[in-house]
Structure formats: structure tokens, C-alpha cells
Amino acid sequence: MELFIDRRPLRIPAFRRLWTASAVTAVGGSFSLIAVPTQLFTLTGSSALVGMSAAVSLATLVVSALWSGALADAIDRRRLLLAGNGGLGLAYLGLWLNAALGLDSIPLILIMVGVQSVSLGAGLTAMGAAVPRVVPAEQLVAANSLSSLTRYGGAVAGPLLAGVLIPVTGLGTLYLLDCLALGLVLWAVARLPPMPAPAAGATGTLRRLGDGFRYLAGRRVLIAILAVDLAAMVFALPHALLPEVAERTYGGPAGGGTGLGLLFAAYPAGVLLAALLSGTFSRARRHGALMASAAMAWGGCVVMLGLAANLTVAVVALALGGAVNFVLSAFRNAISQAHTDDALRGRIQGSLTVVLMGGPQLANMLHGFGGAVLGARPAIVAGGALTVLTVALLLRGLPELWRYGR
């Protein structure tokens, strides 16, 4: 068995083009994630407005993901991918013009944030529904591992590069670089083979959405992976409490310092390590057991984080957590893609996108309140323990997940 990256999907020309383009946009396309909140705070001095932009982003993305999921099962998925990535390019172009022309319009920035999120919801959903069309089922874990490698690699490299570029080029140039990166994605998507809609079922987007929810309700394995993933993210994603832990537990300076940077960097570092060793698990057959085990291991890592007496142990706990969460996400995507009928794959992927994007926001809210009531470290320990308990109860009530892939 290969110990390093499972590269089999890269032998497929269509997937290779998509992956190469995504590697570029994982870095360049992430600049706006730094530039938008920085620009809003610089212009207004208001963190509340930064929070408002996040609320706009979440709300529009949720609606877009569900709606796009229905569209992905009714039209050519390549067209939806082109539309989603084209919309992202237009959003970045609008943000660049707003900065380059000196308009600095807050309403325009918020509108572009909404356009960006609508387009992102469409693109993520269409991509999840399209990959099983170009990659065979036995390589889906490897394909999702490769995609996660670029996504998390960009999450590390993008902000670092943006931090270097902002003092040199200004915020406006970051938006332009995002726009240029999207050009490569559009080229890669345009080169994909046609992906016509599956055999038509219900007509009308709302009716198709209803059919998708009914289908989901009747597939216990799909319900289980959504529930396990939501539990792992909402109960055990303690990013909102890391600044308090860094300062009050490990003696870091107010406003952040090296310790806080290490805590935030440890999780994606663990993800990248697991991605580089994806050949150790990508050919495994017991997808359900591995996903559930990874979710409980993540909860255990969070308990370890909450109990850590020093910064080194906390960083190790988060790095281990990132690694097992990578395994969780790779098998979650593979199960949902392989277990779903192609005619409804878009709608199920839309539901997954909502969980993936909404879960971290709910986690921040829950941990913020929990930390205020219990204290940061007890709240972190409680969240990790609750994750382990919830996943165990889900496996008892939905044992199909544990047996999946035997």
C-alpha cells in the first residue's frame, strides 16, 4: 500500500484539470477572505459590520446551496459550474473596481459579498455532484483527499501570502488576483465533457427540492453522515475560544501572539499531514466505520485540548484533530457521492454544503456562549465529550453507518 498521496484520480484528464485549477484558486481565490473583513474594518472601524458581512455570506450561501442542488439535477452540471465560477469572478471584479476607483462603498461591498456567496454555493454544490461523473467510485476517497489537500493547503498559504502582499500592493490588488485565478478555473471547467441532467423527474425547483428531502429522509446512511458531521463540527470546533485560551491559559499577550498563531496553524497543519499520507487509508473498504471512528477521535482530541496544561500539548492535540478530521471529511464525501442516486446527487450535495458552511458558524456561537458560562477550557472539554457521546448514540440508532462499506 502506498504511504503517500494516492494519485490515481490525477490520471483522469478531466479531474486533473479541475484539480490543477483548484490548486491555484485555493491560494489566489482565498485572498478575498482576508481582504473583505480587513477592508470593512479599515473603512468603518466596526467589528459589528464585519459580523454583518459574515451573516450576509452565510444566509445567501445556504439558500444558494439548496437551490443549486435542485438545479444540478435538472441542467448540465458543467453549465452550473461555469455559472458559479463566473459569478465569483464578477464578484471579485466588482470588489476590485470598488477599491481601485476609490469608491469604498460599504453597500457595494456587502452586495458583492452576497454575489460571492451565491456563486460559491452553486460552485461547491455543482462540483460535489460533478466529481462522481468523472471519477470511478473506487477512487472517490482518493479524489476527495486530493481536493482537501489543495483546499487546506490554500487555507495556510493564502492568508500568509495575503499578509505579505497587503502592505505592498494594497487590498484592491488581492481582489484582482482572485479574479485572475478564477479565469483558470473557468478554462478547466469549459474543458470538461458535457454532464447532462439525469433522467427528468419532478419539474419545478421547489418540487425537486421536496423530492430531495424525501429521498434523504429515506436513506439512513445519508442521515447518519450528516448527523455525525454536524455533531463533530458544532460541538467540537473550538476556534472561537482559542484567543481566550492562548491569553489566559498559556500566558500569551493581549491581542494575540505566537501562541495564538500556533494554535490556529496546528489544525490545518494536521490536515496537510494526513493529506500527504492519504495512501494509507484511501483504499480502505469500511468507509462508514472509518468516518465514525474519526469523528470520535476528533472529539477525543478536543478533550485533550481542553485539558492541556501547556501550549505544546494543545498544539499537538489540534494537529492530531486536523489529521483525523481530514479522514472524516474524505470518507463523508465519498459515502455521500457513492450512496446517492445520480438523479438526486445535486440536492444531497446541497444539503452537505449547508452543513459544511453552517456548522462552523453554529460552533462559534455555541462555544462563545458556552465559554462565557462555563469558562473556555471546561466548554472545550464538554464539546469534545459531547461529540464522542453523540456519535456513539448515532451509531447505536443508525448502525447502517458502521456497517457501510463492508
The answer to whether residues 391 and 232 touch, using CB atoms and an 8 Å cutoff, is yes
Number of H helices, E strands in the chain: 16, 0
32-49: pLDDT as tens digits? 877 888 888 888 887 678
More confident residue, 59 or 198: 59
Highest mean pLDDT among 25-34, 271-280, 283-292: 283-292
The confidence score (pLDDT) of residue 144 equals: 86
Q: How confident is the model at residue 199 (pLDDT cuts 50, 70, 90)?
A: low
108-127: pLDDT as tens digits? 999 999 999 899 889 888 88
The set of long-range contacts for 391-396, using a CB threshold of 8 Å and a minimum separation of 24, is 391/228, 391/231, 391/232, 391/292, 391/295, 391/296, 391/299, 392/296, 394/224, 394/227, 394/228, 394/231, 394/292, 395/224, 395/292
Q: How far is CA 8 from CA 5, 21, 144, 279, 327, in A?
A: 9, 17, 12, 10, 18
Q: Residue 2: pLDDT above 80?
A: no
Sign of CA dihedral 313, 314, 319, 323: positive
Mean pLDDT for the stretch of residues 277-297? 90
Mean pLDDT for the stretch of residues 134-154? 85
The confidence score (pLDDT) of residue 300 equals: 98
Q: Residue 31: pLDDT above 50?
A: yes
Which structural domains are found in the chain, ordered by start? Answer: 1-197 (1.20.1250.20), 202-406 (1.20.1250.20)
The answer to whether residues 120 and 126 touch, using CB atoms and an 8 Å cutoff, is no
85, amino acid identity? N
Query: What percent of the chain is predicted at pLDDT more than 90?
Result: 33
The answer to whether residues 182 and 99 touch, using CB atoms and an 8 Å cutoff, is no
Q: How confident is the model at residue 391 (pLDDT cuts 50, 70, 90)?
A: very high
Query: What percent of the chain is predicted at pLDDT more than 70?
Result: 94
The confidence score (pLDDT) of residue 107 equals: 94
Q: How confident is the model at residue 1 (pLDDT cuts 50, 70, 90)?
A: very low
Mean pLDDT for the stretch of residues 206-226? 84
The confidence score (pLDDT) of residue 34 equals: 75
113, amino acid identity? V
Q: How confident is the model at residue 265 (pLDDT cuts 50, 70, 90)?
A: confident
Mean pLDDT for the stretch of residues 321-339? 91
DSSP 85-143: HHHHHHHHHHHHHHHHTT---HHHHHHHHHHHHHHHHHHHHHHHHHHHHHS-GGGHHHH
Q: Residue 27: pLDDT above 90?
A: no
Q: Residue 256: pLDDT above 70?
A: no
The confidence score (pLDDT) of residue 255 equals: 63
Mean pLDDT for the stretch of residues 75-83? 90
147-168: pLDDT as tens digits? 888 877 776 677 667 777 877 8
Query: How high does pLDDT run on average in the chain?
Result: 86
More confident residue, 333 or 26: 333
